[in-house]
Structure 1
């Protein structure tokens, strides 16, 4: 008995000089998710396409803006978001569905059995990638609209109330849209389902309902994620929107709160499904 006990203890001890086996820490999960994101060749092209879409759209729309049409210089710079938001939505959806489309979900969640750290790490890397892309897109849009703003388009004046918020809002809303795409991807687990749902929520529903204004349609529009784009408007433009609506007057920060609520709810639903249901 003594011999067996001593042998068991000896076997249980780590051999001298052997490295200690690291546990599953969030930092390691974060590095793994960042590696996955940056190792896919299409992702840099997606970021570049998003930047080009933002700058190109801003330049094109800036050519038609005149000083007396009520548009501000900040609107000219951030106007490319109307198309660039699709790129941010795709980014989030791709990250959210990657484990399920590549068939690595079981392997990943066997290595990280608590599962939620994976979703948390995906949220961090998505937000960072979207934030950097949005900042570059904003700078590119500023440079692309230099000509129109020097001609008939209004100049960019930071003294105009709400201008700074509109510029910063470009990055903030881009990150929020990408996180919404991530949540939809992790919840629905199919890229097509996530993208179709995301496009409906952030673009098509608002565009469709705007053609039939009224108390009901304006209220529904105020509750859609697209309400977050109010952050991209200066104070005068937000006041015009609130004066024209027959629904809730959200203001800029109210619209941001609606978008933030959508992100929290969708990510929460994705986390619930991830923990409570099997992965395939």
Structure 2
């Protein structure tokens, strides 16, 4: 009897063919990027988000005059109120994609450590949201050019808080998308993710604002909707802080709040992913 030469277990399977190598971070990242770009509706969602931001800014800019006390930066960034829903959905769909399509088991069989998948989803969402936010800001600037040349205030970077508000539009949009991917990975259901996210970033704030008081204003201050403070100029922030009965968050406080939400939700999603069954 002759001996059959066999390679190391790490290099050969039972059938003698080379074993698959462990997935690298780059391969996982590329797979998640393929998932995002291969679904045509994601591109339409990004384009729709840009269009909503620009159309909202255009519509509101038509009714703004010098006597309203609004700044040129507010005219450009005013579309954030509705566009943030698009950013939320963009992140939420990516966070729930494996569970919706039924590929979760195969994905985490291929990547048994699991957490690299979530990390890749965060990176892909970051890039997609950043690109979409920059496009939305540029489209809003162009859409409001006529209004700013007429009765609406001009966009003057010398006005305190203007540059921060423009940067804040991009940062807040990215934060909302990352919150969406975290909620999606945690809840694993698109409807629950979108409804929960809309309540946190929009409806909860509006409901509490209708009943002002020390308790409700304090709760409002620590909702992720505080991230919208990033798109306000210094004058608007001063007016908000003067009117609140809760904590005064200042210029970057709202950004710190929404960042904390993103970190906590992603940590909770990572814990569930690492410690619980995938279905």
TM-score by length of 2: 0.95
Does 2:81 correspond to 1:82? yes
1:157 matched to which residue of 2? 156
Alignment of 1:93-242 (within 5 A): 93-242=92-241
SS at 1:161's partner residue?
coil
Deviations 1:188-211 (A, max 9, x none): 101000010000000001011111
- Counterparts of 2:193 and 2:131 in 1: how far apart (Å)? 23
2:269 matched to which residue of 1? 270
Structure 1 spans left out of the alignment, 5+ residues: none
2:260 matched to which residue of 1? 261
Instruction: Give the alignment's Cα RMSD to 1 decimal.
Output: 1.6
Deviations 1:207-263 (A, max 9, x none): 111111110111010010010111101111111111111000001211100000000
1:52 matched to which residue of 2? 51
State how many pairs are aligned: 273
1:63 matched to which residue of 2? 62
- Counterparts of 1:65 and 1:210 in 2: how far apart (Å)? 23
Runs of 4+ displaced beyond 3 Å: 18-22
Structure 2 spans left out of the alignment, 5+ residues: none
SS at 2:210's partner residue?
coil
1:12 matched to which residue of 2? 7
Deviations 1:108-146 (A, max 9, x none): 000000000000000000010010001000000000000
SS at 1:12's partner residue?
coil
TM-score by length of 1: 0.94
Deviations 1:136-160 (A, max 9, x none): 0000000000011111100000011
Deviations 1:32-90 (A, max 9, x none): 00000000010010011000000000000001111121110000000000000000000
Query: Which stretch of structure 1 is more off in the superposition, 20-29 or 150-159?
Result: 20-29
SS at 2:156's partner residue?
coil
